[in-house]
Amino acid sequence: MSHKTDRRTFIKGSLAAPAAVALSLNTAAGQAAAQQTENALPQGRIGDLSVSRLLLGGNLLTHFTHSRDLKYVYNLVEHYNTEQKIMETMAIAEQNGVNTLVVHTVPAVLDTLRKYRNEQGGKIQWIICPTAPVEGNLEEYAKQVQELVDDGVEAIYLWGVHADQLAWNGKMDTVARLVDMVKEHGIPSGVGAHDFRVVLDCERKGINADFYIKTFHHHKYPTGPKPAELTKPYNEIPGYWCRDPKEVIDLMKDVEKPWIAFKVMAAGAIPPQDAFQYAFKNGADHVLAGMFDFEIPEDAALVRDIVPKISRTRPWRS
């Protein structure tokens, strides 16, 4: 069956599935837990956490979509992913073995996460990046970290936007301080990055991160970066680009910490089967994918099929 046919089938099926969840969201989280064994995904470990190889990305839930020049998509996503729909999406993720969500600190979404966990009994794990300033005395950042810990976050990472800027400005000492600030709370602490040199500098300087979240995808899609564009400074290239995938592959093959690859579909330009296969084959331990509720079952099925068969040059690091 072709990928196009599969996607159509899952979209059609999704019209009934989310509606059923909406009728009884109080039981959805319990049903999700019961179905996790049946629909189990391969998992790895980050610190003491057992994390599914496929993670639910937060951009569609926070409405920060990367839609290039299709400006209407922002409005469309905002109207589709209501609070109710976000909770349905998390329940469907759990039902399909996705046990971890990655998102940044958008207050409205954090309120929804708390409601899903505390009122609906949701079990999905949280890996969250604070968005508080990373300059000055870091009091606001420390406060945000403490609030997340109090909410029961399972892991925290340094937002890639912040990590890139700190690295470009030669402030790796601040990166080290922010990583250690989280580790003091006894939970895994990671570093996000769009620029591969962030990971390179962390490794060179022995920064004590537990994992990395790094962009990764090939350039074989129609709107992929052209050679002339790749001569621009990193800060002038859109964040969903992986500027040089070979550089990333060569760097990460010697990195012994778990690697969560994100933007693997180049913001929707690469089909999931192609994107997941490429990421896992070339060393990623986990794939972080922004998914609408109706996309989750098919994407989870792809990961169940790909991971056991994949031939890798980099050992699994989680």
Q: Tell me the per-residue pLDDT of 83-104, one tens digit each, with 9 for 90 and over.
A: 899 999 999 999 999 999 999 8
pTM of the model: 0.87
Q: Report residue 80's pLDDT band, with 50, 70 and 90 as the boundaries.
A: confident
Phi-psi domain of 94 (left: phi exceeds 0; alpha: psi -120 through 50; beta: other): alpha
* Domains, the chain: 3-309 (3.20.20.100)
Across the chain, what does the average pLDDT equal?
Answer: 87
Check: CB of residue 157 under 8 Å from CB of residue 141. Answer: no
pLDDT in tens, 221-265: 988 887 877 787 777 766 557 889 999 999 999 999 999 999 999
Q: Which residues contact 204 (CB under 8 A, 6 or more apart)?
A: none
Contact 141, 181 (CB under 8 A): yes
Instruction: State residue 58's pLDDT score.
Output: 81
At 143 the pLDDT is 97
pLDDT for position 25:
56
pLDDT class of 29 with cuts at 50, 70, 90: low
C-beta contacts of 305-314 below 8 A and 24+ residues apart: 306/273, 306/276, 306/277, 306/280, 307/42, 307/53, 307/280, 308/42, 310/277, 310/280, 310/281, 311/281, 312/280, 312/281, 312/282, 312/283, 313/253, 313/282, 313/283, 314/252, 314/253, 314/282, 314/283
Q: Which of 283, 313, 134, 138 is nearest to 196 (CA)?
A: 283
pLDDT over 90 (residue 3): no
Mean pLDDT of 280-307: 97
pLDDT of residue 16: 47
Q: Is the pLDDT of residue 220 over 80?
A: yes
Residue 99, classed as helix, strand or coil, is: coil
